[in-house]
Amino acid sequence: MQEQIRFVLSRPRMEKGPRKVLIIGASTGYGLATRIAAAFGARAETVGVFFERPADEDRTASAGWYNSAFFEEEAEKAGLRAWSLNGDAFSDPVKADTLALLRKTTGPVDLVIYSLAAPRRGMHTSVLRPIGHEYTNKTVNFQTGQVYETTVPPASEDEIAGTVAVMGGEDWQLWIEALLRAELLAPGAMTVAYSYIGSSVTAAIYREGTIGKAKEHLEATARSLDAKLLSLGGRAYVAVNKAVVTLASAAIPFVPLYIGILYQVMKDKGTHEGCIEQMDRLLRERLYRDGGSPVDDAGRIRLDEKELDPAIQKEVEARWKRVTTENLPQLVDLDGYRKELSRICGFDFPQVNYAADIDPNIAIPSLR
């Protein structure tokens, strides 16, 4: 968190940027980075919605809980207004509570970020599977460094429909319609949801798989929401982000090995980015740039151009073919991947004394 805040503060202050932002999925990964970029980069007021677990007697809280507590503390020190809401964003009560919170605090918002990554929504479950055929490819156990083949069975029709219901655009649409009805979208308000395309190496499991169907639905929803926001002078976009290590991406078959190779190749070329670099670019060079954001033929904002650079992809594909347990350390950013996965949960920081006794019960100030 400190590193991300420091990165944003090292950039010139955004002259144009969001003023009041609602972030749905604000506690980790891309949503958290967007919150940091909007608050510390543009001095925006932020309301963050997330689903995290506070500490109880014998368990620490989840990482996103501590992130959100720390975000609010740092925001307050910097004179930035911030509120949080912890609960299931897919549910009606949490939507209603968020509207009430906005009425009491920021009033109408001018940017709504939709950054949920979830395994289920109500009775629907999301699965990460190929469609139409089973799929076999290499994978890695990052704990042991072993590369081996694994096979993922194809999804059933119900599983495809379930994944679209969880990770597609339906819930995003419900949020935007509820905000519109409540007159909590300011004139010119924008909304952005995050998508992924990726490489030929991950196509069968990602873009052509169940999650790809959900992303297609999300992208179609952006087009219909865009039409709905026209009367407000607003816009709805999907932003296609780069593959990064997050709690969500770690759970996708084959993707961690792809990310490990990609990180090494992009670091070697000096084009590697994490969540915060991209979310800073999203605000500065896309959403709030004069003349509006550039988009691709399908109307999507693209932040994945460095990942999909043909020279990068060519090298990733070549390494993917060659990688084995033996040459893993040469071809894959094994340490980088492991370290990042630890660090998103607060581990692997040399300045932290992990043996020190601490009280894990930390409150999120606005939830007290």
Residues of this chain that bind ligand NAI (CB under 6 A): 25-31, 49-52, 64, 88-90, 115-118, 194-196, 241, 243-244, 246-249
Q: Which helix (H) or strand (E) holds 311?
A: helix 310-322
Least Å distance, CB 82 to ligand NAI, is: 15
> Which residue's Cβ has the minimum distance to ligand NAI?
29
Of 23 and 186, the one with the shorter C-beta distance to ligand NAI is 23
**Is 206 tagged catalytic?**
yes
Least Å distance, CB 88 to ligand NAI, is: 4
Of 186 and 340, the one with the shorter C-beta distance to ligand NAI is 340
Q: What distance in Å separates the CA atoms of residue 93 and residue 91, rounded to the nearest whole number?
A: 6
Angle at 344 between CA 361 and CA 222, to 5 degrees: 110
Of 29 and 130, the one with the shorter C-beta distance to ligand NAI is 29
Q: What distance in Å separates the CA atoms of residue 296 and residue 293, rounded to the nearest whole number?
A: 10
Least Å distance, CB 295 to ligand NAI, is: 16
| Sequence-ordered strand ranges (E) for the chain | 20-24, 45-50, 82-86, 109-114, 120-121, 124-125, 135-141, 146-152, 185-195, 235-240, 301-302
Least Å distance, CB 102 to ligand NAI, is: 16
Residue 54 has a CB neighbour count (10 Å cut-off) of 18
Q: Which of 206, 237, 258, 263 is catalytic?
A: 206
Of 186 and 218, the one with the shorter C-beta distance to ligand NAI is 218
Q: What is the DSSP string of 97-158?
A: HHHHHHHHTT-SEEEEEE----SEETTEE-----SSS-EEEEEEETTTTEEEEEEEPPPPHH
Q: What distance in Å separates the CA atoms of residue 50 and residue 23, rounded to the nearest whole number?
A: 9
Angle at 267 between CA 27 and CA 342, to 5 degrees: 35
Q: Please count the residues of the chain.
A: 368
Strand, helix or coil at 231? helix
Q: Name the DSSP letter for residue 50.
A: E
Residue 141 has a CB neighbour count (10 Å cut-off) of 12
Q: What distance in Å separates the CA atoms of residue 12 and residue 280, rounded to the nearest whole number?
A: 11
Of 118 and 203, the one with the shorter C-beta distance to ligand NAI is 118
Of 49 and 323, the one with the shorter C-beta distance to ligand NAI is 49
Least Å distance, CB 131 to ligand NAI, is: 17
Least Å distance, CB 115 to ligand NAI, is: 4
Residues recognised as catalytic: 206
